[in-house]
Structure 1
Amino acid sequence: MNSASDPSTPSPVEHRLNEADQSLRAGDAHKALALLSPLPGSPAVHLNRGRAFFRLGQYQDAAAELEKATLPFGGHAVAAIIDEAVALRRRADLLHLFSESRKIAPYDPRLLDAQGSILMHLGRFDEAEVCLRESLKRRPNDKGTLNLLAMNLTEQGRFDEALSILDGLRQRAPEEWGPGCNMAAILNNIGRLEDAANIYRETIPLAPNEAALRLNHSIAMLKSGRMAQGWAEHEWRFGMPGHTNLPQNRLLPNITPFLNLEGKRVLVTQEEGLGDTLMYLRYIPALARTGAIVHIWGTSILAGLCRRVEGTTIVQHGGETPDYDYHCPFISLPRAFSATPDAMGSPVPYLKADPVKVLQWKKILHSDRKLRVGLVWAGGARPENTGAQMVDRQRSMPLSALAPLADLEGISFYSLQKDEPALQRLDFPGQLIDFMPQCLDMDDTAALVSCLDLVVSVDTSMVHLAGGLGKPVIMMDRFNNCWRWLHGRDDSPWYPKMKIVRQTRFRDWSDVVTRVRSLLEDAVSAQ
């Protein structure tokens, strides 16, 4: 067949568009524009020109091209580049683009919604609300805008207002699952667990195969302590992006007396954050006792700790997919063991620091006879991940919020903070000893933590590291806490030496810090 008539062969225009897209992905916006300049105008051409101008910071030109790319009855083309801008960590630059776009179409509700969404992601909630309410004047009762407004109100702690909006959407469209899912998630977050369960019971029949709905439901069950059912339901996450791409038919089944794993290679894989991996490493000894060959394929920063977990045979980071009989993401290990005596994994301490590194830190710290307290005040922001960034904004605090601890007698404070928030250490009015530049991975940090008496941290991987090492932990927790800390408890079944101090007011750390100060005074007295 002649290739010119082959429908699978791209046309010259399609070929140039593909080349321009590849150039943009490679970061060469100038080359992309050169490829696009001779092409006749079309939505695809204007969109890619807009992408290129945005990358170059030419927002007026980008706005003009994106306006031409927008179809009369479709979404605004600005929305098409939001994910790209977020991945480039240029979320704030979108506001310059919106400003130029609104000069062209000042009352386009699609632009108002997009601008409101980005302002919300940036934590500028009042401005976001103005945009969204302006949009609703143009499109009263628009479902998408109302959902965004409910999300924005939730981020401000105005939960009743958000729930009222979502309940109204449920009443208007009782056949749709989205409002019920969002409503139940808010109820679960603020501790109204039974109300959330009732909403899920009504909503799941509307979309029983919707992964996002079922995953949210699993989190509600886990937070209420229904662990076995929650872990089984949590497997719905595989229907969402960002999880394992290994074949589902080789996923490790539930451990039963009838499952023979003797000599079978089980590939245990990194899935989400470091905290999850540190938490679920407790299941590795039980997995090894089945006779399985345990091959951990994870991240280099945890490799040293993984090697010292009892039962680990092989630790790999990077490289090609190794041979295996079954694979199991770390987060699926609790599900696999949920009907066994090892449902909670090994008791602490199941993590062990490098004894040579521990000895080195003991020598460095030997002259410090005070209570040695590690401090962590912020998690990893991950600005390229909108959901993670918004959670981090709630779980993290500025170091200045811990100023009331600075004058405590009999305590030496050690920073365990990494990344950009570590630059705040000068905001602490007392002495804050900082050895973290010498800690190149979690193995180094584990050795330092082993030489401390106590760790005070927000909800980050540090609480799992310290808890897994068997160290006492005071966790400063946000109002709408993570499922794993359950509800209404100040202790944890995962880490027996943990004390949870939770916000009593949304986004307000003052009461938490006051109670932490009291606990530290008690610890000094008991020393």
Structure 2
Amino acid sequence: MGMREQTMQARLSEAFLSGDLEKCLEMARTLAVVSGIGPHPLETLLPVAESHDRRAELLDLTDRLAQAAPQDCRLLELGATLLMQLGFLDEAESRLNDALQRRPGHLPALSTLSCTLTQAGRFADACAVLKRMQALDPRDPSALSNIAYITAASGDVHEAINLYRQAIQIKPDHPQMRLNYSIALLKAGYFQQGWSEHEWRFRLPGHTSLPMAQLLPNITEKLDLRGKHVLVTQEEGYGDTFMYLRYLPLLAQRGAIIRVWGADIMSDLCARVEGVDTVQSGGTTPYYDYHCPFISLPRAFAASPNPFGVNPPYIAADLVKSAHFAARLRDDHNLKVGLVWSGAPRRDQTEPFMLDQRRSMTLETLRPLFDLPKTSFYSLQKGTATGQLDESKTPIIDLMPECLTMDDTAALIDNLDIVVSVDTSVVHLAGAMNKPVLLMDRVNPCWRWMTDRTDSPWYPSLRILRQTRAWDWSDVVSSVRALLHDESERKKS
């Protein structure tokens, strides 16, 4: 790209961010003529549209340009990518098929088609597309690795592991491939090897800025932690932190001085975990001898006598806050059920945004529950999905405006009989408190819920109710209704 084109492309991005779509349209037309070949100028706006949640505007621009250039496959493919991300999967597939009729072997279009079919839960169709890609470029192990991912998504994790191993033989130092392989191992229950492989994530950006030379080594009898400062750091979501707090009491038993850094709205809860010395949400890096992200704690303890950490409950509600909610709920003698129907959409991050579309549901989907006798429903929902409470006429009691931190939410959960939730951090919080939990889980679930089982090695109080068809929650909601009815009858008797 020449200097003039680079300048025009920068101005195109500025115009898009400022919301001047007419100027964007004019500049994109000019750039398309100047460049002639290669990626369409609008394609450079995709990362901007993703990170600023401006996908709909970019789709509008793409469609308007495509009206004047219907033969341009690049616009078909860009529009399909945006439609896929926004959840319009049928239309995305249709556009990709049109583009592939014109360019049958175009690998980027085939890749987007496989992603679209995977998002739709059509794993066999997605796998067929990936095999086409593999035939076109057999030296590239990425297609084989993606076939392994889809094989795991469809439930055959052992075959997926074999496929990952074949791909790794071709390119053994590919961090993302090794990380995906680790997830398949964990999903299959090969925890010790899985946690070891999971450390490949450190070769990807964004996991830690601390020196690897001081990463906490594996826990053995020879490792002396007495008086050593171990800095445990927040790495990903709140659920991960709740899940791995179980290892901190074991570190303390070995004499470590534990400092938790980056706990944010979980600070109060983390501070009450047995053995925690201090909790810090920001500021300068605390002193440490070793550091360890929460997600590396299971690796450190994998070969120890306690590979799953301490048993729940290892998180306890604040007694004063719990007493406050106990007073609020004193006159409710029904079965008290906490509900979470949606996760955080994180629309500025494409992969989490698309995952959330699969794991979340609308509040309306749970309507079959609300006529259960002797049952009261309490919202544990946060975020934009709380707006559905105002839109729907449901008997849900919403005390969440009083819950400003996870510590407040834990106090409310402490006074409920059972929690019903999609796969969010509330599942982990309630499980860590040893509160009964019904997890409404999607097709192609997170590795930690494994496959073909309704229980969890992490949370004894948790029961998993799985979708049988992607995007269809009807069977799950029916099962939840039956179980809540049984619980209500048990409490009444």
Equivalent position SS for 1:296 = strand
Superposed CA offset, 1:25-63 (max 9, x none)? xxxxxxxxxxxxxxx971211011101111222223213
Q: Give the Å deviation of 1:257.
A: 1.3
CA distance in 2, matches of 1:63, 1:105: 13
Superposition pairs of residues 221-232 of structure 1, within 5 angstroms = 221-232=185-196
Q: What runs of 5+ residues in structure 1 fail to find an aligned partner? A: 1-39
Query: Is the 2:267–2:281 contact (alpha carbons within 8 Å) kept by the matching residues of 1?
Result: yes
> Which has the greater radius of gyration?
1
Aligned match of 1:305 in 269, 288, 292?
Answer: 269
The answer for the alignment partner of 1:176 in structure 2 is: 140
The answer for the alignment partner of 2:244 in structure 1 is: 280
Q: Which amino acid aligns with 1:52?
A: E
Query: Is the 1:358–1:448 contact (alpha carbons within 8 Å) kept by the matching residues of 2?
Result: yes
- Shift of the 353–134 alpha-carbon distance from structure 1 to 2, 3 Å rule, reads same
In the TM superposition, structure 1's runs of 4+ consecutive aligned residues that sit over 6 Å from their partners are: none
Equivalent position SS for 2:273 = coil
Superposition pairs of residues 428-439 of structure 1, within 5 angstroms = 429-439=393-403
Aligned match of 1:359 in 316, 320, 323?
Answer: 323
Query: Is the 1:337–1:343 contact (alpha carbons within 8 Å) kept by the matching residues of 2?
Result: yes
The answer for the alignment partner of 1:425 in structure 2 is: 389
Q: Give the Å deviation of 1:111.
A: 2.3
Query: Is the 2:312–2:432 contact (alpha carbons within 8 Å) kept by the matching residues of 1?
Result: yes
CA distance in 1, matches of 2:194, 2:29: 46
CA distance in 2, matches of 1:105, 1:58: 21
Q: Give the Å deviation of 1:134.
A: 2.0
Query: Is the 1:217–1:233 contact (alpha carbons within 8 Å) kept by the matching residues of 2?
Result: yes
Q: Which has the higher contact order (CA 8 A, sep 6+)?
A: 2
Superposed CA offset, 1:459-509 (max 9, x none)? 100100101011000111112111101110001111101111111111110
Query: Is the 2:187–2:448 contact (alpha carbons within 8 Å) kept by the matching residues of 1?
Result: yes
The answer for the alignment partner of 1:247 in structure 2 is: 211
Aligned match of 1:64 in 1, 18, 26?
Answer: 26
Q: Give the Å deviation of 1:144.
A: 1.2
The answer for the alignment partner of 1:291 in structure 2 is: 255
Q: Which amino acid aligns with 2:211?
A: P
- Shift of the 325–72 alpha-carbon distance from structure 1 to 2, 3 Å rule, reads farther
Q: How many residues align?
A: 488
Superposition pairs of residues 78-117 of structure 1, within 5 angstroms = 78-103=42-67, 105-117=69-81
Query: Is the 2:343–2:424 contact (alpha carbons within 8 Å) kept by the matching residues of 1?
Result: yes
- Shift of the 67–265 alpha-carbon distance from structure 1 to 2, 3 Å rule, reads farther
The answer for the alignment partner of 1:46 in structure 2 is: 8
Q: Give the Å deviation of 1:100.
A: 3.6
The answer for the alignment partner of 2:114 in structure 1 is: 150
Superposed CA offset, 1:147-171 (max 9, x none)? 1111111122222111111122223
Mean Cα displacement is larger for which, 485-494 or 160-169?
A: 160-169
CA distance in 2, matches of 1:65, 1:261: 62
Aligned match of 2:457 in 485, 488, 493?
Answer: 493
Equivalent position SS for 1:434 = coil
CA distance in 2, matches of 1:421, 1:59: 29
Q: Which amino acid aligns with 1:184?
A: A
CA distance in 2, matches of 1:379, 1:423: 13
The answer for the alignment partner of 1:200 in structure 2 is: 164
CA distance in 2, matches of 1:376, 1:353: 19
CA distance in 2, matches of 1:190, 1:477: 14
- Alignment RMSD (CA, Å): 1.5
Q: Give the Å deviation of 1:239.
A: 1.8
Query: Is the 1:403–1:428 contact (alpha carbons within 8 Å) kept by the matching residues of 2?
Result: no
Q: Give the Å deviation of 1:77.
A: 2.7
Answer yes or no: is 1:507 the counterpart of 2:471.
Answer: yes
Answer yes or no: is 1:267 the counterpart of 2:231.
Answer: yes
The answer for the alignment partner of 1:238 in structure 2 is: 202
Answer yes or no: is 1:459 the counterpart of 2:423.
Answer: yes
Query: Is the 2:263–2:279 contact (alpha carbons within 8 Å) kept by the matching residues of 1?
Result: no
Query: Is the 2:431–2:437 contact (alpha carbons within 8 Å) kept by the matching residues of 1?
Result: yes
CA distance in 2, matches of 1:415, 1:499: 20
The answer for the alignment partner of 2:178 in structure 1 is: 214
Q: Give the Å deviation of 1:72.
A: 4.2
CA distance in 2, matches of 1:79, 1:318: 37
Q: Give the Å deviation of 1:428.
A: 5.1
The answer for the alignment partner of 1:392 in structure 2 is: 356
Q: Give the Å deviation of 1:241.
A: 2.5
Instruction: State TM-score, norm by structure 1.
Output: 0.90
- Shift of the 198–368 alpha-carbon distance from structure 1 to 2, 3 Å rule, reads same
The answer for the alignment partner of 1:337 in structure 2 is: 301
Q: Give the Å deviation of 1:429.
A: 4.8
Q: Which amino acid aligns with 2:232?
A: V
Q: Give the Å deviation of 1:104.
A: 5.4
Q: Give the Å deviation of 1:211.
A: 0.8
Q: Which amino acid aligns with 2:272?
A: R
Instruction: State TM-score, norm by structure 2.
Output: 0.96
The answer for the alignment partner of 1:55 in structure 2 is: 17
Give aligned-pair identity as a percent: 48
